[in-house]
Amino acid sequence: MEVNASILISVGLAAIVVRSMRKFLDLPIRTPHLSRLLGYFWVPGLILYLFSLLIHWKTDRLDEIYTLFLLAMVVGVLVRVQHYRPARTLLLAVVPYALYALIELLSGALSTGFLHEYRSLFSNSQGFATIWLVTFVLIARKQKKQLEAERVVREAEEKERREIAAQNAQLERLVAERTSSLTQQTEELQHALEELKTTQAQLIQAEKMASLGELTAGIAHEIQNPLNFVTNFSDVSAELVQELEEEQQRPDRDHELEAELLADLRQNLQKITHHGQRAASIVRGMLEHSRASTGERQPTDLNVLADEYLRLAYHGLRAKDKTFNATLNTHFDPSLVKINAVAQDLGRVLLNLFTNAFYAVQKRKEASPPDFAPTVSVATRQLPNGSVEVRVRDNGTGIPASVRQKIFQPFFTTKPTGEGTGLGLSLSYDIVTKAHGGTLEVESEEGQGTEFIITLPA
């Protein structure tokens, strides 16, 4: 019965081996079917145990047979999962011990005397196989830990890659949205630019043809922008007023919100005023440049005309800025003959030149020491060939050489946005050169002043 009981002990040890092997090799994950089959390891042991009871056979060969079966089962499992590096190492560990057990079993079955004769050799072989087994089991454990560490690193790297991929996808989505937005804005700007070019071409053609109807149509298009701003800010202001009224009717009024609404309303009103003044400025410019004229040439005294428009320009600027003062110098040639010209058109030219001159000296005054004296001069002269000359000079900011050739182009201006349309000098140039057959030239030194020279045939 002691020998038979040893089979049950071997089954118990087999349970420990199977459980450890399942866990060590991750068999439920790698080979679920094989892992389930291993659960029947006890069946052969039970059969041998019952067989020994039935025939009353007491021999330690039954225990050796079951041990050999267990080793064969372990080798089979390791061969099945030998792609796993620790499994290959365990296979190297178990095979020598399994061969030893097989040889010992066969030797004992064939000749008991042979086994006793070479007991020392078998004992040494068993010890070597056992040391070999333990050594490679330790190596396999080390390999498994190394693989686990590598797996943890791979999972961390994979997680990082997934996070980076998600971030990249998010960035790509944001870039795509931003690109789409920029593309839409670009298309809108391109469309606006095309409309602006179309409007510019229309206005230039209107000026060339001197047609009041076409000029008014072009200016109406230009005035639409400030009018749109006024309309939009008015609508928004009305909504703010409604919100403010609703807030004031609440029992728990939010004074900070009311202050914020009032601040927004004040800002909108300022913008409405700004764009309203801009629209008014465009209208005034339209009226000045398209005022009805007979177009008939009449004898015109340039001395009287220049003096009249010089005072008009100066007092017009003083009405806007009472702190502005300038010295007016006039040098009129008493021998100047009258010329046949459209006095109203020439007056418009002189008004543009004087207005620009006062603007230039005012800007220089703002950036100069207190002792700077703004000065605008106008002089007339009878030329030997019978032509007359008018010079308008100022000691203002001057015109940079880089833009001097462009100042007579339509819509070109050196003034900040909103302070000039760029049409004044262009219109003046056309009136002098095309309508009266004269010349309009400019001499300027940046930071020192500018002089416009008008030459008209008698």
Does residue 57 register a pLDDT over 70? no
Segments making up each domain of the chain, as ranges: 2-165, 216-292, 298-456
Amino acid 263: pLDDT: 81
More confident residue, 23 or 372: 372
pLDDT of residue 394: 93
Q: What is the pLDDT of residues 320-358, one digit of tens each?
A: 777 888 889 999 999 989 888 888 888 888 888 988 898
At 388 the pLDDT is 93
Q: Residue 450's pLDDT is what?
A: 92
- Cα–Cα distance between 203 and 222 in angstroms, integer? 10
The reported pTM is 0.41
CA distances from 13 to 300, 416, 426 (A): 131, 97, 109
pLDDT the model gives residue 372: 87
Give dist(CA 311, CA 283) in Å, integer: 23
CATH architecture of 298-456: 2-Layer Sandwich (3.30)
Q: Quick one: average pLDDT of 140-167?
A: 84
Contact indicator for 264, 240 with CB cutoff of 8 Å: yes
Instruction: State residue 171 phi and psi, 5-degree precision.
Output: -65, -40
- Centre a 10 Å sphere on the Cβ of residue 365 and count the other Cβ atoms it contains: 20
Is the pLDDT confidence value at 442 over 80? yes
Residue 375: what pLDDT?
92
210: left (phi over 0), alpha (psi -120 to 50) or beta: left
Angstrom distance (rounded) from CA 326 to CA 310 = 12
Q: Residue 10 CA to chain centroid, in angstroms?
A: 73
Computed over its alpha carbons, how large is the radius of gyration of the chain? 53
Burial class of residue 100 in the structure, from the number of CB atoms within 10 Å of its CB (0-12 exposed, 13-18 middle, 19+ buried): buried
**Mean pLDDT to the nearest integer, 179-190:** 85
Predicted local confidence at residue 264, as pLDDT: 77
Dist CA 249 CA 342 (whole Å): 65
Among 181-195, 201-215, 246-260, 309-323, the minimum mean pLDDT is found in 201-215
Cβ atoms of 393 and 377 closer than 8 Å? yes
Cβ atoms of residues 65 and 14 within 8 Å: no
State the Cα–Cα distance between residues 100 and 92, nearest whole angstrom: 13
Beta-sheet strands, E only, within 25-116: none
If you average pLDDT over residues 147-173, what whole number do you get?
86
Listed ranges 175-179, 275-279, 417-421; the one with the highest mean pLDDT: 175-179
What is the model's pLDDT at position 295? 64
Please give the DSSP secondary-structure letter assigned to residue 405. G
Dihedral sign of CA atoms 237, 241, 244, 246 in order: negative
pLDDT band at 382 (very low <50, low <70, confident <90, very high): very high
Distance from C-alpha of 176 to C-alpha of 185, rounded to nearest angstrom: 14
- Mean of the per-residue pLDDT values of the chain: 76
> What is the DSSP-derived secondary structure letter of residue 209?
H
Residue 5 has pLDDT above 80, yes or no: no
- % the chain with pLDDT above 90: 7
Choice among 42-56, 189-203, 331-345 with the minimum mean pLDDT:
42-56
Q: Cβ-count burial of 44 within 10 angstroms (0-12 exposed, 13-18 middle, 19+ buried)?
A: middle
Q: How far apart are CA 71 and CA 81, in angstroms?
A: 16
Structure tokens at 302: 């340039």
Please state the φ and ψ torsions of residue 396, each to the nearest 5 degrees: -90, -145
- Cα separation of 347 and 173, whole Å? 62
Spatial strand order in the sheet of 388-394: 327-331, 375-382, 388-394, 449-456, 439-445
Helix (H, G, I), strand (E, B) or coil at 373: coil
pLDDT exceeds cutoff 90 at 190 = no
